[in-house]
Amino acid sequence: MSLFTVHIFLTLFALSAGGGKQRETPGLYQGDIQLTPEQWESLQSNNSPFGSIKNRRWPNAKIPYTFESSIGENGRQAIKEAIDDYHRFTCLRFTPWNGEKNYISFFYGQGCNSPVGMWDKNRISLGEGCLTKGTALHEIGHSLGLEHEQCRPDRDRYVNIHYENIEEDWVFAFNISKNVDSLGTEYDLYSMMHYSSNSFTKVWNKKTITTKDPSKQKLLDNFGRIFGLSGTDVKQINKMYSCGEKIPSTLKPTTCTKDNDWSCQFWTNQGYCLSGDLFQRARMHEMCCKSCKDKCGKCGL
């Protein structure tokens, strides 16, 4: 079945480690989701086409994939790094496409977008400003069957939506998807699938989302998905695909000589060495061991 885009005219906001930049992706549901006619019909009738639909999950947790010629080396590297994380923390296995009917095809298109769930051919666009590991993780997450975190039915218990700051044409990007099934996982401000605090804002310094707990606001200001998978992301994916427990008991290296990511100092200064998500805290100590050690020693690990 071929996919088509439902013309709802939303936009995707994404943040890099150094700040925010608006990137428009016209004609996509919630800014980065491609919908089929069946999915759009399900949305109209309040039947969620997302995580609860078992027949759109990838059989045996196997996902064939390929690169189209438009994807350059930077994009391929970001995708490979994202796939490495999925391999490490879930039972999902991405394999080179070998003629299978259902597969993912990565291409350099307009903005960052993906279908939701498995279809005959899932084309994931990683265009200008999208060639990062965090964005690849997010868009692949959609193809696995994940919805945006802030569309969960229980979101109003955790965040405030400031409709007065949202561009009028895009207010319904914040609609709750009433039938999303999060498989018993807790609401996750750290999730790679969560909007940032200024998504769809009229003015760059006006927030569209704030946290009920003010002490957690920085999680949305910094857009946690750039950092990578959260513990709850891992838990939900593993439940979706019957993986069992895949989070290692410890990720902290026995020795520390240098940071392994250029953005470590930024994330350290934002307090992620003391992240409330123990999985992310462990990831920080693994990836940014020198910065975390210099900042706060063992940081409670």
Q: Which of 73, 100, 139, 286 is catalytic?
A: 139
Three-state SS annotation for the chain: CCCCCCCCCCCEEEEECCEEEEECCCCCECCCEECCHHHHHHHHCCCCCCCCCHHHCCHHHEEEEEECCCCCHHHHHHHHHHHHHHHHHCCCEEEECCCCCCEEEEECCCCEEEECCCCCEEEEEECCCCCCHHHHHHHHHHHHCCCCHHHCCCHHHCEEECHHHECHHHHHHHCCCCCCCCCCCCCCCCCCCCCCCCCCECCCCCCCEEECCHHHHHHHHCCHHHCCCCHHHHHHHHHHCCCCCCCCCCCCCCCCCCCCCCCHHHHHHCCHHHCCCHHHHHHHHHHCHHHHHHHHCCCCC
Q: How far apart are CA 54 and CA 67, in angstroms?
A: 26
Q: Verify whether residue 167 is a known catalytic residue.
A: no
Catalytic positions are: 139
